[in-house]
Structures are given as C-alpha cells and as structure tokens.
Amino acid sequence: MKKMDVIVSPSHIKGIIQAPASKSYTQRWLIGALLAEGTSEILTPGKSADEKNLAKAIESLGAKVTYEEEKWIVTGGFNARSKNIHVGESGLGVRLISAVSALADQPIEIEGTGSLNKRPMAQIKEILPALGADCKTNDGYLPLIVKGPLTGGKATVEGSFGSQFISGLLFALPMAENDSEIVVKNLKSQPYIDITLDVLNHFGITVENENYQKFRIPGKQKYQPGTFTVEGDWSNGAILLAAGAINGTLKVENLNPHSAQGDSKILEALDKCGANVRYQENGYKIEATPNLKAFDLDATHTPDLFPPLAALASYCSGVSRIKGVKRLIHKESNRAEALIREFGNVGVPVFVEDDDYLVIKGKQPTGGTFYSHNDHRIAMTGALMALKATKPVRITHAEAVNKSYPDFFEDLEKLQAVVEYPKS
C-alpha cells in the first residue's frame, strides 16, 4: 500500500454525510452466504480492504462472489477449493475463517499481513481439538494450518481476549455432525456476539444463548440463502459524530438507533459531555457546543470507541477517564501507547491509570505531526484532533484508513474540512 500523508487544518465541518456500511455486519453476512447453498444478495455492503479480503477468502472455500455497485451476489456452498487462504489484515476475518475452514477434511493454511501477524492466535489452537479439528500455529501466531472436520462437542473459551473466535465457532458449529456446547468465561465485546446471533437468525440458524455464558448449538443445521441489507457502521459513525461535537454542524445518516452494534454507546459519551445531538429521520444531527465537559465511560465492551472518545475528551474541560485499556493491546497497534504518544505530540496529556483507565486532560491540541501507527482508527483520530487545533495536523501513514473507511478523508472534504495531500 502506497504511503500517504494527509494534512488536516482547523475546520468547521458542516453538511449531511452517510455513515459507511458496517464492516462487522458485512463480514458476517459474507460468512453466512458462503455456508448457505444457493444465491444470497448482500445489499449496500462495505468496500473496505477487510471486507474485500474476506470476500476473496470465501471464494477459496467454495463461494462465487459477483460484485455490483450496491450489492454483492454470493452463490454459496462450502467446498474448500484451496489449501491456502489469505485474509489480509482483518482480525475478525482470520477468526471467522479459521473456524469455518475447520469444516474441511483437508489442511488449510491461513495467512495474513501487517499487524495481524503480530496478534496472538494460540486460542484457536487450544480450542479446535476439543471440537474435532486440529490447528497448528507459528509459535502462537500466523500462519495457521487448520484441519477438520469439526465434529462438534463441548469446549470452554476464555472470552477476555475478545469475542471474534467465539463468533467463528457460532458460524461453523451448526454445520457439525453433532450438537455442541460452548462455555464462555469473562466475555468481553458482548455486543459483537449480538451481531453474530442476529445474522445467524436471518440465515435460519438456531443457537441457544444462556446469558452469554453458555451457547448450545444443534448440529446438522442448514443455512438458508436470502437477501440481506448491511446497516450503517456505528464504529465509523462515532468518528463522524465526534467530529461534529468538536467543531461542526452536521447530520450523520444511515445509523440505526436500535442497532446491536455496541459502538452506538458513543451517544452516551456525547450526552455526558453536553454535546448537542438529537435523532432525526435516518440519522443524528449534531452541533458543536463551546463548553463540553469531561466524562467517564466504560468502553470495555467497545474498544474501537477509544480513539474517538479520547479525541472528544481532549476538547472537554476537565479530566476524562475511559475504562477498558486492557482491550487495546492487540489491535492494529497497541492503541493505548499510540494514543499517549500521538496526543502528546499535539499537546494533549494522556496517560494510563490503575492499569485499565485511559485518562485525558482536556486541552486544545497545538497541531503537529500525528503518526497513524498503521492503524486506521488512529489515523482518523488524527483528523479529529486537527478540527479545532491551533495549527494543522499532519497525519503520517494516513493510508491506514483503507482498512475500514477508505473514503474518510474525501468525506471530510465533502463536509468542507480543509484537507491537503502533500507529496512525500
């Protein structure tokens, strides 16, 4: 990917913008469509690198994907065609694909790129044997070699590492020969399990959920193809809403107020800090207010909210505290370290307290250089820091936004932000 720097100058943004399609939903619809024999349509899908890479990955497992402007047509039916699958840099993608690939009776190697190769995968190796499959890792990291078939059974999963592999099992195990029971301890990111269960229900799959601590999954189920619409993405919608609260007058459309997506919790933070936000038809209107106040929020189950929450907190008077820092270590970057360093570079004090709180002392950013750490959410946060800074912010390796929101800087320009693309 070609290196790109972007300079964002202080700007009052205004207008109407569509939140991009949910990456979390799009990837799950793709997996379900792979497992459903017949033709499914996925309407208004996302177009980020993660989604495109997963679409290619399911073709290796038997799907045929046809791309049209506002929909993907997927002819499904699990039939592993390749012994090697590449998932790009998608953490969700690798965990969904590793579980589903274990349905095959042949070894399949799963590879990734970039920071994904530094993210631990040992849990997959530990869990699959209890369910009839095998997994080898590279000392706990990618590449993985998975060999099934999954037969079902009982397994205990530590949920404090996140919910993504649990979601993978919930997709794969309905097709196992036998019934399964997954016991989950210390589940984090519960809202993402809600998204998985919602998608499974639309494909006609039955899962018995016992308070998110135990899941019973009947085997020999069949996925039913259909037409599915991808709702707007609250993770990236949160970035846009935070931008409006900092220095804007805008409406963010395509956000479902009843969504299972946990990142809709941004509304709680906006309310606590005194932002002027209200729901209107198909979206939220938000206007900047001059005296935002500090807030406390538990983001343990919504770790992707940390970057925009931290940016919002920098423009609030007082000291804000966000709980859940332990969830930030194994993302595209160590986001706690990245936020501390880059906020410091633009004059905002940030530190970790009691091992699990990110503390932000509200102070107007000075401008300067903001390194993305090759992390899409850190790159977008650099732009938020610029909107009401004293000087422009130069975001280095800004191309990282392609992972989830490739049109981010173009959308900022549509909202009348001053955005420049200097030559390296």
| pLDDT classification of 330: cutoffs 50, 70, 90 | low
Question: Pick from 211, 229, 247: which residue ends a domain?
Answer: 229
pLDDT surpassing 90 at residue 261 = yes
Residues 41, 174, single domain; the answer is: yes
Q: What is the mean pLDDT of residues 305-313?
A: 97
Number of Cβ within 10 Å of residue 332's Cβ equals 24
What pLDDT score does 289 carry? 92
- Residues 347 and 332 occupy one common structural domain: yes
pLDDT 10s digits, 111-131: 999 889 988 999 999 999 999
- Which residues are annotated as catalytic? 304
The secondary structure element, H or E, covering residue 147 is strand 141-147
- 400-423 pLDDT tens trace: 999 999 999 999 999 999 999 998
Domain-terminating residue out of 183, 208, 229:
229
* Radius of gyration from C-alpha coordinates of the chain: 21
Residue type, 418: V
Give pLDDT, residue 217: 98
Contact in structure between 269 and 295 (CB atoms under 8 Å): yes
Confidence of residue 299 (pLDDT cuts 50, 70, 90): very high
In a domain, 130, yes or no: yes
Q: What is the CATH number of the domain that holds 216?
A: 3.65.10.10
Question: Is 1 domain-assigned?
Answer: no
pLDDT band at 327 (very low <50, low <70, confident <90, very high): confident
Question: pLDDT band at 209, cuts 50/70/90?
Answer: very high
| Pair 203, 58 in one domain | yes
* 14 and 44 belong to one structural domain: no
- Say whether pLDDT at 1 is over 80: no
Phi-psi region of 152 (alpha: psi -120 to 50; beta: other; left: phi over 0): left
Mean pLDDT for the chain? 96
Q: What does the alpha-carbon distance between residue 392 and residue 8 come to, in Å, rounded to a whole number?
A: 6
Number of domains in the chain: 2
**Strands 248-253 vs 13-18: parallel, antiparallel or unpaired:** parallel
- Do both 211 and 319 map to the same domain? no
Check whether residue 314 and residue 340 sit in a common domain: yes
Residue 215 belongs to what domain range?
Answer: 23-229
- Cβ atoms of 27 and 92 within 8 Å: the answer is yes
11 within a domain of the structure (yes/no): yes
Same structural domain for residues 265 and 200? no
